[in-house]
Amino acid sequence: MATLVVFGSITIAAPAAPSASAGGNTREVHIGALLSLTGDGATLGTTSKAALEIAARRWNDSRKDKEVKVVLDVENTNLEAEQAQAALTRLADKGVRIAIGPQSSSEVAAISEQADARGVLLVSQGSTASSLAVPDDNVVRFVPTDHVEGRASVDLMLYDNATTIIPMWRNDRGNTGLADSVRAAAMSSGAMVSDGVRYEPDTTDFSAALADLSTQVQAGIASAGADNVAVYLAGFEEVAEVFNTARTVAGLDGVRWYGGDGSAQSKALLASGPAAFATSVKVKGYPSPLVALPAGLVKRDAKLVSEISKRAKNQADAFTLAAYDAFDVAARTLSDTPADADAATLRAAFSRTAQGAKGKTGTIQLDPAGDRLSTPYAFWSLCQRGKSPRWTQTGTWTPAKDPTAPGRVRPKNCPES
């Protein structure tokens, strides 16, 4: 288990009555989890659940004095605001004070006021919307905001000689934030950005949206040339169906496509139809950014990543390990804070424990709004390996001192089959 730096020396009991061990000294604390185990966010949801289960087991096995036992309470949100609200109510009614998740910004936006009212601290491993960066609320995020990821995506597109960018995005808080950040970063760098295409979260037929996109792509090709046009698509698992439909729309496979973190390493995109589109000659693998693990930690934590991936039957990534780190900080905070502490005291204790903590995702530094300041990113692409497509790392992005300023891109091609 990673060693974290803990500030302060406050002590805790659980919100519920402690359960006694054989020696009568064990106290039980509950940590909640709000995860999308079904639906569009299931890839991150299932890997996060596996990571949290392993973290809870390791925590309980490592407590030699057995004074504190952590119980994990997992709720499925299906990436839907209403389900997230109901799930948070169930957790709060059980006395849960800290919950890992939810993983999408739309869910965070829907339940943040409820979390404030119920005194539950939310620690999201996936929410990136910069519009949710609010100081002193009950939301902490262990990933940077969309300003940082948007800059990383634009830097890669510019490196690939894109001068015209055509965005397409799912109309929710997180993906809209990514599209907005890409637009702002691209335009500040001198690139042209079209109006783009927005689709609703319940869309199942993407033919109309892609017809609109095709019109904008053709206009971009006419003015800038196909090699200088890029499509940026921000969505979740439904991107697989977008690609399935895009195969039937003339011209969409004639330019490069780039993605957001919501569909990176998605299992749904490995299906034959979506993968055929993504790995086509011009589309170039649909490179998509994910928070990168520090180089020195990849080898050290390879066994943990493998264990999580095997348990989840999905590849664990840095967002998954952000959930693992969130659990560790939450367990330490609850072990060192009085059970009757008010929300402000609990939030302050969590922030002190997190700040400077050395976790699986590297050293954690939070900004005044409780969001991760910055991290490097890795680009992942769908590469054809023999007869099977596979998510493969195809580059890195290192932030500048100002993480919203242009950083350093080091791309590489898909390996030869």
Write the pLDDT tens digit of every residue in 318-375: 899 999 999 999 999 999 998 889 999 999 999 999 999 999 999 999 999 999 999 9
Predicted confidence at residue 168, as pLDDT, reads: 98
Torsion of CA 305, 311, 315, 316, to 10 degrees: -40
141: its two tokens: 């995020």
Residue 260 lies in a domain: yes
Q: Indicate if the pLDDT at residue 13 is higher than 50.
A: no
If one compares 222 and 64, the residue with the highest pLDDT of the two is: 222
283 and 407 assigned to the same domain: yes
Residue 269 lies in a domain: yes
Instruction: With cut-offs at 50, 70 and 90, classify the pLDDT of residue 5.
Output: very low
Whether 183 maps to a domain, the answer reads: yes
> What pLDDT does 40 receive?
83
Residue 158 and residue 78 share a domain = no
How confident is the model at residue 18, as a pLDDT?
A: 37
Q: Is the dihedral of CA 371, 144, 120, 113 positive or negative?
A: positive
* pLDDT of the residue at 385: 82
Nearest to 255 by CA among 170, 185, 157: 157
| CATH number of the CATH domain containing 136 | 3.40.50.2300
Judgement on whether residues 288 and 298 belong to the same structural domain of the protein: no
Same domain, 135 and 246: no
Mean pLDDT of 296-313: 91
pLDDT (average), residues 96-103: 97
Decide if 162 is inside a domain: yes
Give the pLDDT confidence score for residue 417 in this predicted structure. Answer: 57
Residue 274 lies in a domain: yes
- Name the pLDDT band for 192 (thresholds 50, 70, 90): very high
198 belongs to a structural domain: yes
Number of structural domains in the chain: 2
Better-scored residue on pLDDT, 280 or 387: 280
Structure confidence by residue, pLDDT tens digits, 229-257: 999 999 999 999 999 999 999 999 999 99
Q: Which domain holds residue 169?
A: 147-292+376-411
Check whether residue 277 and residue 314 sit in a common domain: no
Residues 188 and 220 in one domain: yes
Same domain, 202 and 283: yes
- Based on the domain organization, do 281 and 380 belong to the same domain? yes
What pLDDT score does 296 carry?
A: 76
Q: Which residue, chain included where needed, has tokens 């030869």? A: 416
- 34 and 130, same structural domain? yes
The predicted structure's pLDDT at residue 22: 39
Q: Tell whether 310 and 397 lie within a shared domain.
A: no
**Domain identity same for 285 and 205:** yes
User: Is 153 part of a structural domain of the chain?
Assistant: yes
Q: How far is CA 168 from the centre of its chain?
A: 19
Residues 127, 103 contacting (CB under 8 angstroms): yes
In this predicted structure, the answer to whether residue 118 has a pLDDT above a threshold of 70 is: yes
Mean of all residue pLDDT scores within the chain: 91
Would residue 13 count as lying in a domain? no
Assess whether 267 and 380 both reside in one domain.
yes
Q: Global pTM?
A: 0.83
Q: Nearest Cα to 305, choosing from 289, 287, 293?
A: 293
pLDDT at residue 66 is higher than 90 = no
Residue 15 scores a pLDDT above 50: no
- Determine the Cα–Cα distance for residues 46 and 339; give it in Å rounded to an integer: 30
